[in-house]
Amino acid sequence: MNAPRTTRSRRPALLKAAATTAVLALTLTACNANSGSDDDATAPSTQGSTGATEKGGTMTILTSATEINWDPAKSQNLAITTLGLVERRLTTWGVEPGKPGVVVPDLATDTGTVSDDGTTWTYTLKDDIFFEDGTPITSADIKYGVERSFAPELSGGLGYHKSLLEGGDEYAGPYTGGELDSIETPDEKTIVFKLKTAYGDWPWIVSQPAFAPVPEAQDDVATYTQQPVASGPYKVVDTQQGVSVTLERNDQWTEESDDVRTAGPDSIVFSLGQDATVTAQRLIADAGDDKNAFGASFVPPAQLAQVANNASAKERLVTSDAGALAYLAINTEREGLDNLQVRQAIQYAVDKQAFQVASGGETGGAIATTLITPGIEGREDYDLYEAEPAGDVDKATELLTESGWDPTSRELVLLSEDDSVSLSQAQAIEQGLERAGFQVTIKPEAQLAAVQTLTQGTGEYDLTISSWQPDFPSANGNIQPLFDSSQIGNGGYNMARFSDPAVDELIAQATAEIDVEKAGALWAQADRAIMEQSPVVPLIFTRNSFLHGSNVQNFYIPAFPAYPNYLKASLSQ
């Protein structure tokens, strides 16, 4: 069986995920649009706070999800959110407000020892790590957990490791395919991974859900989604279908073995199927048990307006600095758009301020000029196409004239999702381009159809707006999935259909580089090299806002990702 592509990062939102919830914020801020530099993406915002952890109480997480799939093989869950409360991995994310994320040990003693050629990674497990029944966690449990992620019955999880491990392309999981020889367990404390090629971000890969331990004797494909065997500070004790999931303390977890989880509450209840608007209204009111709750969903725009006029709620609103990059992809294979000067003209013609307004103003996102997400190693601030936030129409028309291409020769098809927010954002792009003489037709499609056209089709579109957040805090996740030529079509997300051998080589070098600083420098070089070719127009780095009750403490959003860190949240006693 062919394994899922290793490069599939956090799904592109095609604006919908970025805009239909909290990103569509207070439009009244748009009249004071920011300077247009992506330095604004790291300007101070209300990211929350950290302090001493008090133990006790029941914390409620209000979520729109109608179920929680605890099976690590099937999950794309962020390391700092839901599954991280119950299931540990070899490594995890060390994230704080205002600081770049770093990979840190979790079940392993360190982030890995690599061979000289970068293809073999070795990990040693900590002492005194146990499953919820008191059974020691061994290297065999990690190996089995990874192997089961290859099983067709357990598809859907992040699959980077499947094409990186030797033999992964042919392996079909432990239920029918035996063991994967490229994962070795010479003893109960040691696990060794053999890769096809050098891969410097492997320590991030082993922080993903599939690297949680699963005891083979307790693996039931039908029930593991609701009854996982806990290795973290909490275990699942009750599931009411579509209503709630309750976690209680796992007394086999030790604080001494875990540097990232504080396990403040005695119990945690996920309240399922909650409407984001109702959740926000409850948290604004801050009454009863809701004082001990927080919302897992972005705060909708109408409630953000309420928060602005409510001093108590305003103190409890936590807003990220920067999240997903919203961008305009230019199909570089299309007639006219295969001309660099035409693509550069689009850079100047786009009205980023109008797009920002359509996305909720400054609260919804800061204007972007680069590709790597703030909070990730390797990011550098620069602007190759300096202009006012509203663009530079004169410069755009000058470049168009120099290009020799007549923009009236055909209409450019701007593929958009068919919801109202996506369409309003598409219209903001349309009006900016038409000022410079481009002719644009917006083509609405339903979300699934749009994704199919953009990732599986032959490129029957000229422009599209998307958003992207990496699956782990590395510039690899910003650059490779969107700009490597191998990701054109066949399910890849290179929507600009951009192909440049020099950029491919830079990506290959950065991917194989083990030294974090050297890799970051290479990714920064790739970022600039891509922007020189102008396959996309960075629009904004979206911001996300969340509310919590007055008794919730240590509720914060790190520099990356733009979501709260569930592993630290606690309650005042």
Q: What is the DSSP string of 437-496?
A: T--EEEEEE-HHHHHHHHHTS----SEEEEEEB-SSSSHHHHHHHHH-GGGSSTT---TT
Give the pLDDT band (50/70/90) at residue 305.
confident
Give the pLDDT band (50/70/90) at residue 426.
very high
What is the structure's pLDDT at 4? 26
Any idea what the CATH number is for the domain that residue 135 is in?
3.40.190.10
What is the structure's pLDDT at 177? 79
Single out the residue in 227, 246, 272 at which a domain terminates.
Answer: 227
Given a cut of 60, is residue 80 above it in pLDDT?
Answer: yes
Check whether residue 23 and residue 91 sit in a common domain: no
- Which ranges in 107-190 belong to alpha helices (H)? 139-148, 160-164, 174-177
The percentage of the chain sitting over the pLDDT mark of 90, rounded to a whole number, equals 79
Separation of alpha carbons 430 and 447, rounded Å: 20
* Cross-strand pairs, 165: 195
Q: How many domains does the chain have?
A: 2
Separation of alpha carbons 362 and 355, rounded Å: 11
What is the structure's pLDDT at 100? 83
Host domain of residue 126: 87-227
Give the pLDDT band (50/70/90) at residue 302.
confident
The mean-pLDDT minimum among 19-33, 274-288, 368-382, 448-462 falls in 19-33
What is the structure's pLDDT at 16? 37
Assign residue 31 a region: left if phi > 0, alpha if psi is -120 to 50, beta otherwise? alpha
Give the pLDDT band (50/70/90) at residue 97.
confident
Check whether residue 359 and residue 486 sit in a common domain: yes
Whether 383 maps to a domain, the answer reads yes
Check whether residue 523 and residue 396 sit in a common domain: yes
Whether 236 maps to a domain, the answer reads no
Check whether residue 202 and residue 342 sit in a common domain: no
Whether 345 maps to a domain, the answer reads yes
Check whether residue 509 and residue 388 sit in a common domain: yes
Whether 216 maps to a domain, the answer reads yes
Single out the residue in 227, 260, 281 at which a domain terminates.
Answer: 227
Q: Are 71 and 228 in contact (CB under 8 A)?
A: yes
Average pLDDT over residues 366-381: 91
| Average pLDDT score, the chain | 90
Check whether residue 330 and residue 409 sit in a common domain: yes
* Nearest alpha carbon to residue 347 among 547, 497, 537: 537
Give the pLDDT band (50/70/90) at residue 8.
very low
Positions of E strands within 140-254: 183-187, 190-194, 234-240, 244-249
Separation of alpha carbons 184 and 167, rounded Å: 13
Burial class, 288, CB count within 10 angstroms (exposed 0-12 / middle 13-18 / buried 19+):
exposed
The percentage of the chain sitting over the pLDDT mark of 70, rounded to a whole number, equals 92
What is the structure's pLDDT at 147? 98
Whether 165 maps to a domain, the answer reads yes
Check whether residue 371 and residue 434 sit in a common domain: yes
Single out the residue in 165, 193, 227 at which a domain terminates.
Answer: 227
Check whether residue 217 and residue 127 sit in a common domain: yes
Give the contacts of 508 (CB within 8 A, at least 6 positions apart): none
Whether 274 maps to a domain, the answer reads no
What is the structure's pLDDT at 18? 35
Check whether residue 32 and residue 95 sit in a common domain: no
Any idea what the CATH number is for the domain that residue 495 is in?
3.10.105.10
What is the structure's pLDDT at 213? 98
The mean-pLDDT minimum among 25-34, 368-377, 383-392, 562-571 falls in 25-34
Both tokens of residue 184? 């070795």
Check whether residue 37 and residue 125 sit in a common domain: no
At 365, the amino acid letter reads G
What is the structure's pLDDT at 48? 73
Whether 413 maps to a domain, the answer reads yes
Check whether residue 92 and residue 168 sit in a common domain: yes
Residue 442 backbone phi and psi in degrees, to 5 = -85, 125
Cα separation of the two ends of the chain: 53
Residue appearing with tokens 């992506």: 38
Residue 101 backbone phi and psi in degrees, to 5 = -70, 145
Positions of E strands within 23-119: 58-62, 91-96, 99-105, 113-114
Given a cut of 80, is residue 50 above it in pLDDT?
Answer: no
Check whether residue 330 and residue 467 sit in a common domain: yes
Whether 559 maps to a domain, the answer reads no
Q: If residue 80 lies in a helix (H) or strand (E), which one and from where to where?
A: none
